[in-house]
Structure 1
Amino acid sequence: MRPTRLLALTVEETTDRYADLIRAKTTTGQLSPGTAEVYIRDVLTFSALAGPHRVLDELDGEDIDSVLLAFARKPDARRRTPTTAPQSAASQARFRRSLSAFFRHALLSGWVQLDPMPAATVRARQRGDLRTERRALTREQAGGLITAARSLAAAPPDTGRRDDQRTELRDALTVVMLATLGPRVSELVGADLEHFFTNDGIRYWRVLGKGGRTRDLPLPPPVAALLDAYLAEGRPLLDRGREPRALLLSWRGRRLARGDVQPAIDRVLSRVAPADRRAVTPHGLRHTTATHLLAAATDLDAVRRVLGHSDLSTLTRYRDALPGELEAAMRIHPLLPP
């Protein structure tokens, strides 16, 4: 039931109240911390773009269109170097969904008389299930990144820094896990030491995924070896007792934050040969895992379980076309002799 009177609250007041509600839902288990963080980030971005001191009920469809366009042009804050590229269609669609959820709550709470979202006309154009800009790295680009990470892990320690500031093994492990296992960045930074175990000689990672779901991922031997090296030589230098459970720690001994992951990728990327170097985000590495597993004809359900999805149809959004894959498929056609 809607409230009987309208509350003339500013955009800033309403988004702050909504963010508090999202945090409360995280505490009660209704939302995962990673999902809540995205919702909160989106409504705070909306507040900044719409004007924090405007009355929320005064916003109409044209105002929402202006906000959506401003967000589309907003540079990707995850990248170190400035970029003029617009936000991806997927990011724009997610932002719009976050605003729709916010205004549904605003309507029920008496902050607005009418929901302005149906009057908004700006929508991101998506080309089928493929993005305008490829997210997945090619095999050569991904191979160069993984090779750079492994060489970084094997390099002699940098004597120019204190022992507790050496993060080479941690950065290498971060990149290799993202590129080969495809976890969400929230799953990686949320990993604890107790989530890794051995069964019949195989190392596993018990991933705590969205919606409270868990999955046990077997680690490929090179990944398991890098994990062991980090635990034996890298993490003890970082562990100052503040986060005894967390797998990945900052040099100050705190659990690695989501925002720390992109700089780690960039540090490894700087060691890749220019011909194979291409900027990539943590989510782009998740796309890379899915794309190459699917291109290698890995069982669809196995790929779904690796990524932690409940529905096979979701895999279509993680599929990029790869150069030469159609030619390769025709060369090994199952109905024709070699």
Structure 2
Amino acid sequence: MRPAEVHRVTVAQAVDRYIDMVRAKTATGALSPGTAEVYTRDVHTFARLAGGERVLDDLSGEDVDDVLLRFALKPDGRRGGRPPGGEEAGARQSGASQARFRRSVSAFFRYATVSGWVQLDPMAATTVVPRQRGGLRPERRALTREQAEGLLGTAQSLASAVPDGRRRADQRTELRDALIVLLLATVGPRVSELTRADLDHFYVNAGVRYWRIFGKGGATRDVPLPREVARVLDAYLAERRARTVETGALLLSWRGRRLARGDVQAVIDRVLARVDPQHRRGVTPHGLRHTMATHLLAAATDMDAVRRVLGHADLSTLGRYRDDLPGELEAAMRAHPLLGAPAESPDPG
């Protein structure tokens, strides 16, 4: 028999009430806007997959397992269902997205238990764990050197392109798109850090342009920009000044609003569509963060410097951002530091 205090609310009703709570916590500063956006998006997805008209307390662990697996197998909506190049693996949810979705659903059910919407938290009875779902993740996230150079070269060409006279000046996005790809691939910010960037977060010190990145937990880091990226940034800022926009946000839609996290993937895909098909592979914003870390570490860049650029407190975290590169071990052994140059043969004469 059900206890009297359990409220028979539907999934859709519970999600609406949960989102009201998330918004209230965001307004008081208890939750960051980025976290609130993720929770809101994920519980809406959960309601669609579970069935909004069902009673929340009727869902079993088996029902939640079904939702988790359906989420894992559904196309990634941020990418239009299929990345450039038609890679079927990339069209599914990554292992990281699946783990994030599970965390969001767990938080939702914890709140539902406290609120009296469910008798027992069904997450305790689920059997699908991130370890089992990890096989659906693409084998590698980082682009190869050729793929990364193709993407960056295309972005640089886009930044230097002659403006299309058929479009209004305030609707042109070439410089902005180029800047987004260059910042993601060379500095490796989280997508939330990129979209939160404001104009006054960039400054010049001793002739070097820096980006003060506001990361997780209120932590900040000052990262110097490569010269080519700084050049594109300056061109973009000059274009921005020509428009009368009453916002301090760095990245804007052509309507003049701050760019949303979900818009960044569309920008990457638009630039990727211009890359030579031989060097094109679909990639997410987080995949570009992996690409930056992988290639800096492969070039023997100081690990602590890479850690500071990425904004991590612990060196051990770098292992998650390090992918193997083709031919890397062979190149390392050819340049073995203990062997040096081969000794010259003595002159027989």
- Fold shared by both chains (TM-score > 0.5): yes
Partners of 1:130 and 1:216 in 2: how far apart?
36
Count of matched residue pairs:
333
The 1:81–1:8 alpha-carbon spacing in structure 2 relative to 1, beyond 3 Å, is closer
Partners of 1:128 and 1:48 in 2: how far apart?
23
Partners of 2:272 and 2:130 in 1: how far apart?
30
Q: Which runs of 5+ in 2 are unaligned?
A: 342-349
Provide the residue aligned with 2:329 in structure 1. Answer: 326
Q: Is the 8 A contact 2:60 2:125 kept in 1?
A: yes
1:119, distance to aligned residue in structure 2 (A): 1.0
Provide the residue aligned with 1:154 in structure 2. Answer: 160
Provide the residue aligned with 1:7 in structure 2. Answer: 7
Percent identity reads: 71
Q: Which runs of 5+ in 1 are unaligned?
A: none
Q: Is the 8 A contact 2:95 2:135 kept in 1?
A: no
Provide the residue aligned with 2:245 in structure 1. Answer: 241
1:229-268 alignment, distance < 5 Å:
229-232=235-238, 234-237=239-242, 239-243=243-247, 245-268=248-271
The 1:283–1:108 alpha-carbon spacing in structure 2 relative to 1, beyond 3 Å, is same
Provide the residue aligned with 1:62 in structure 2. Answer: 62
Partners of 1:319 and 1:55 in 2: how far apart?
44
List per-residue Cα deviations over 1:178-228 (Å, max 9, x = no partner). 110011111111111110011111111111111111111111111111111
1:4, distance to aligned residue in structure 2 (A): 7.7
Provide the residue aligned with 2:27 in structure 1. Answer: 27
1:15-54 alignment, distance < 5 Å:
15-54=15-54
Deviates more, 1:12-21 or 1:44-53: 12-21
Partners of 2:271 and 2:64 in 1: how far apart?
39
Q: Is the 8 A contact 1:43 1:99 kept in 2?
A: yes
1:32, distance to aligned residue in structure 2 (A): 2.1
Q: Equivalent residue of 2:269, what SS?
A: helix
1:337, distance to aligned residue in structure 2 (A): 2.2
List per-residue Cα deviations over 1:274-312 (Å, max 9, x = no partner). 111111111111111111112122222221211112222
Partners of 1:56 and 1:95 in 2: how far apart?
18
Provide the residue aligned with 1:87 in structure 2. Answer: 93
1:175-190 alignment, distance < 5 Å:
175-190=181-196
Provide the residue aligned with 1:196 in structure 2. Answer: 202
Partners of 2:113 and 2:262 in 1: how far apart?
33
Q: Is the 8 A contact 1:78 1:281 kept in 2?
A: no
1:18, distance to aligned residue in structure 2 (A): 1.6
User: Once superposed, what is the RMSD of the aligned Cα atoms?
Assistant: 2.1
Q: Equivalent residue of 2:19, what SS?
A: helix
Q: Is the 8 A contact 1:242 1:254 kept in 2?
A: no
